[in-house]
C-alpha cells in the first residue's frame, strides 16, 4: 500500500492502489467478495478490460506531459522513453509507443482522446487511430471534417462499434482516400526495401526477406494453392507445411519448364475497386512528389505529425469522392491484404482480366460480366514470338516472368488489345514503367524505344545494363 501524504499526486496514486488491490484480491479469492462465479465473473472481466484500456489512454496522455516537463532528464537519460523503460522495466519499444500515442492523441485526436478516457473506444482502436489515421498532415487535416464528411467523429463512432480487425480495415481505407500520396511513398520505400536472402548454412538454408504487399499476397496465394489439407497423422506446424509449399512451388516451375516458355502464367490476385476510381487512377498515374515538396520533405512533415509539432496554415476541408459504400472510401483494395496505391492499381489494370459486378442498394449482386481485354491465346503467343524477352533496355527476362503491357492504356487511352500496341515486359519493369511514367513507342526499325517522362531516351549500356545516368531521371532526381 502506498502512503498518502496529502498532495494531489499522492491522492490519485493512493486511490488507484486501493482500487487495484481490491480487484486483485477479488480475483485471487472470489469468495471474499461474495463469489465471482459464472455471469458475475464475466461481467467483472469485461469491466476490468475496459478500465485497463482507460488507464492505458490516461498513461499515454500523462506520458506526453511528463516528457515535455523535462524533469526526467536530471539523471542523464537519453530520452523520456529511455527513462520510462529504465524505471518501469518495460521495453524501450513499448515505452516509445506509449509516449508517441500520448503526443498524437493530444496534438491531433481530441475526439479519440475523450472517447478513450471515457472507455468508449478500446486500446486497439486507439492504436489504429495513431498508427494508421493520424500519420500525415493531409490526414490530420481530414480529421477536422464533420461526421457527415467522414472526419474524426465518424471514425470514433466506428471505433466504438467495430472490432479491432474490422476497424483497422476501415481505417486503412480511410487513410488511403485521405492521403493517397502517402501510400505511394510507402510503396516506393517498400520496393526499395524488398529482398530475399537464401544462404547455405549448417544443416540447410537460411531464408530471410521482405516483400511488398502485392508480392507477399502473390506468394501467399501460391502457397495456399499447393498446400493441401494435412493428413490425420501429419504433425507438422503450419509454418513447416508452408516451407514445404514453397519448395513445391519451386519444383512446379522447374519440373514443368515454365521458365523460358511462352505460357501465360498470371498472378491470381483479386482487386476490388469501383470503375470511377479505376479510371481516375489510370488517368492520373503516380503523383510527382517533386511538385508536392519532395519525398524527403514529406517524410519530415509526417515525422512532425508523430512528434506533435505545430502546423501552420488553415485546414483544408476533406471531401470524399462520390461512392456508393462510404466505408470503402473509393479506394482499390487487394482482397485479403488491404488498399493498394494507385500506381499498383494502374499496372494491374494494364494486363489483367477485369470483371464487372453490379451491386444493388443493399449490396446484393445484380449482374456479373467480364470484359475480355487481355492478351490471351494467339495474340499473346504472337507478342511473345515477336519480342522474345522483356523489351526494357538491358533486360532479358523470359516470357514466363512477365506480362504484356498496353502501350495505349486500355482504360485511360481507350487502347485496343492489338498485338501492335502490346509489348512484353517482365513483372519488375512493368512496375517501373507504371511507377515512373516511362513512355514506350514503336521505333523506326520495328522495335521499341523507351523514354523517361522528361523525354530522355533509356538505353542499355555495355553489359546489358540500363544507363545509370538515364535511370536517375526516372525518380525525378
Residue-wise pLDDT tens digits, 258-280: 665 444 444 455 677 777 777 77
The residue among 319, 351, 371 that closes a domain is 371
Give the chain's length.
477
Q: 48 with 178, same domain?
A: yes
Residue 477 placed within a domain: no
The residue among 311, 341, 371 that closes a domain is 371
Q: How confident is the model at residue 318 (pLDDT cuts 50, 70, 90)?
A: low
Residue 322 placed within a domain: yes
Q: 43 with 159, same domain?
A: yes
* Residue in 98, 154, 88 with CA at minimum distance from that of residue 127: 98
Residue 473's pLDDT is: 41
Joined together, the cell numbers standing for residue 291 give 511538385
Q: 52 with 163, same domain?
A: yes
Mean of the per-residue pLDDT values for the chain? 75
> Please, which residues have CB within 8 angstroms of residue 89's CB and are 6 or more apart in sequence?
none
Q: 329 with 464, same domain?
A: no
Task: Name residue, grid cell 513499448.
Answer: 94
Residue 203 placed within a domain: yes
Q: 110-117 and 39-69 are packed helices; what angle lies between their axes, rounded to 10 degrees?
A: 140
Q: How confident is the model at residue 31 (pLDDT cuts 50, 70, 90)?
A: low
Q: How confident is the model at residue 291 (pLDDT cuts 50, 70, 90)?
A: very low
Counting beta carbons within 10 angstroms of the beta carbon of residue 58, is it exposed (0 to 12), middle (13 to 18) or buried (19 or more)?
middle
Residue 333 placed within a domain: yes
Q: 214 with 237, same domain?
A: yes
Number of domains present in the structure of the chain: 4
pLDDT in tens, 347-395: 777 766 666 665 555 554 455 454 555 566 667 777 777 787 888 888 8
For residues 285 and 114, the answer to whether their CB atoms sit within 8 Å is no
Q: 163 with 28, same domain?
A: yes
Joined together, the cell numbers standing for residue 191 give 520496393
Strand partners, 441: 449
- Assign residue 346 a region (left: φ > 0; alpha: ψ between -120 and 50; beta: otherwise): alpha
* Residue in 363, 325, 303 with CA at minimum distance from that of residue 150: 325
What whole-number distance in Å separates Cα of residue 84 and Cα of residue 98? 10
What whole-number distance in Å separates Cα of residue 117 and Cα of residue 109? 12
For residues 102 and 127, the answer to whether their CB atoms sit within 8 Å is no
* Residue in 411, 389, 410, 412 with CA at minimum distance from that of residue 400: 389
What whole-number distance in Å separates Cα of residue 425 and Cα of residue 210? 23
What whole-number distance in Å separates Cα of residue 409 and Cα of residue 189? 26
For residues 349 and 360, the answer to whether their CB atoms sit within 8 Å is no
Q: 173 with 41, same domain?
A: yes
3-state class (DSSP) for residue 235: coil
For residues 452 and 458, the answer to whether their CB atoms sit within 8 Å is yes
Strand partners, 150: none
Structural domain including 425 reads 377-472
Q: 251 with 340, same domain?
A: no
What whole-number distance in Å separates Cα of residue 286 and Cα of residue 437? 8
The residue among 338, 371, 404 that closes a domain is 371
Residue 397's pLDDT is: 76
Residue 43's pLDDT is: 81
Q: 164 with 38, same domain?
A: yes
Residue 286 placed within a domain: yes
3-state class (DSSP) for residue 389: coil
Q: 395 with 430, same domain?
A: yes
Residue 104 placed within a domain: yes
| Dihedral angle over CA of 288, 352, 417, 454, nearest 10 | 10
3-state class (DSSP) for residue 402: strand
**Eight-state DSSP code of residue 71:** G
Residue 261 placed within a domain: no
What whole-number distance in Å separates Cα of residue 335 and Cα of residue 239? 22
3-state class (DSSP) for residue 225: helix
Q: 66 with 159, same domain?
A: yes
Residue 263 placed within a domain: no
Residue 308's pLDDT is: 58
* Residue in 205, 206, 249 with CA at minimum distance from that of residue 224: 249
Q: Which of 79-83, 177-181, 272-276, 438-442 has the lowest mean pLDDT?
A: 272-276
3-state class (DSSP) for residue 359: strand
Task: Name residue, grid cell 489515421.
Answer: 133
pLDDT (average), residues 205-227: 87
Question: What is this structure's pTM?
Answer: 0.60
CB atoms inside a 10 Å sphere around CB 353? 11
Planar angle of CA 294, 297, 299, nearest 5 degrees: 110
* Residue in 56, 28, 51 with CA at minimum distance from that of residue 41: 28
* Residue in 96, 97, 154 with CA at minimum distance from that of residue 130: 97
Q: 332 with 440, same domain?
A: no
For residues 134 and 109, the answer to whether their CB atoms sit within 8 Å is yes
pLDDT in tens, 53-97: 999 999 999 998 888 888 888 888 888 999 999 998 999 999 999
Amino acid at each position: 500500500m502506498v502512503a498518502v501524504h496529502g498532495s494531489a499526486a499522492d491522492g490519485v496514486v493512493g486511490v488507484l492502489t486501493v482500487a487495484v488491490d481490491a480487484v486483485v484480491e477479488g480475483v485471487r479469492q472470489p469468495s471474499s467478495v461474495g463469489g465471482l462465479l459464472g455471469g458475475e465473473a464475466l461481467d467483472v472481466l469485461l469491466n476490468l478490460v475496459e478500465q485497463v484500456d482507460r488507464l492505458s489512454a490516461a498513461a499515454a496522455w500523462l506520458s506526453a506531459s511528463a516528457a515535455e516537463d523535462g524533469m526526467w532528464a536530471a539523471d542523464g537519460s537519453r530520452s523520456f522513453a529511455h527513462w520510462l523503460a529504465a524505471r518501469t522495466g518495460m521495453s524501450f519499444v513499448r515505452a516509445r509507443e506509449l509516449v508517441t500515442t500520448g503526443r498524437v492523441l493530444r496534438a491531433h485526436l481530441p475526439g479519440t482522446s475523450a472517447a478513450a478516457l471515457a472507455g468508449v473506444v478500446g486500446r486497439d482502436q486507439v492504436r489504429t487511430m495513431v498508427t494508421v489515421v493520424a500519420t500525415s498532415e493531409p490526414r490530420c487535416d481530414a480529421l477536422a471534417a464533420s461526421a457527415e464528411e467522414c472526419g474524426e467523429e465518424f471514425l470514433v463512432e466506428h471505433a466504438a462499434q467495430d472490432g479491432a480487425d474490422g476497424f483497422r480495415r476501415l481505417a486503412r481505407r480511410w487513410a488511403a482516400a485521405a492521403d493517397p500520396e502517402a501510400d505511394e511513398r510507402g510503396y516506393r520505400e517498400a520496393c526499395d526495401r524488398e529482398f530475399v536472402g537464401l544462404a547455405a548454412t549448417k544443416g540447410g538454408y537460411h531464408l530471410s526477406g521482405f516483400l511488398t504487399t502485392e508480392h507477399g499476397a502473390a506468394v501467399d496465394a501460391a502457397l495456399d494453392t499447393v498446400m493441401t489439407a494435412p493428413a490425420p497423422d501429419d504433425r507438422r506446424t503450419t509454418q513447416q507445411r508452408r516451407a514445404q509449399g514453397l519448395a513445391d512451388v519451386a519444383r512446379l516451375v522447374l519440373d514443368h519448364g515454365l521458365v523460358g516458355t511462352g505460357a501465360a502464367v498470371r498472378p491470381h490476385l483479386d482487386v476490388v475497386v469501383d470503375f470511377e476510381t479505376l479510371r481516375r487512377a489510370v488517368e492520373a498515374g503516380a503523383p510527382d512528389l517533386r511538385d508536392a515538396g519532395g519525398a524527403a520533405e514529406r517524410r519530415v512533415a509526417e515525422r512532425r505529425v508523430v512528434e506533435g509539432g505545430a502546423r501552420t496554415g488553415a485546414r483544408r476541408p476533406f471531401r470524399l469522392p462520390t461512392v456508393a459504400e462510404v466505408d470503402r472510401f473509393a479506394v482499390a483494395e487487394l482482397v485479403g491484404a488491404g488498399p493498394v496505391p494507385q500506381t499498383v492499381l494502374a499496372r494491374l489494370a494494364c494486363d489483367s482480366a477485369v470483371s464487372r459486378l453490379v451491386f444493388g442498394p443493399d449490396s446484393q449482386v445484380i449482374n456479373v460480366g467480364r470484359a475480355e481485354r487481355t492478351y490471351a491465346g494467339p495474340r499473346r503467343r504472337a507478342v511473345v514470338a515477336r519480342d522474345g524477352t522483356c523489351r526494357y533496355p538491358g533486360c532479358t527476362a523470359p516470357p514466363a516472368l512477365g506480362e504484356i503491357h498496353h502501350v495505349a492504356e486500355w482504360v485511360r487511352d481507350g487502347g485496343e488489345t492489338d498485338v501492335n500496341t502490346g509489348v512484353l515486359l517482365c513483372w519488375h519493369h512493368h512496375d517501373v514503367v507504371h511507377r515512373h511514367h516511362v513512355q514506350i513507342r514503336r521505333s523506326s526499325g520495328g522495335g521499341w524505344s523507351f523514354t523517361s517522362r522528361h523525354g530522355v531516351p533509356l538505353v542499355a549500356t555495355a553489359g546489358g545494363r540500363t544507363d545509370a545516368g538515364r535511370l536517375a531521371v526516372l525518380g525525378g532526381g
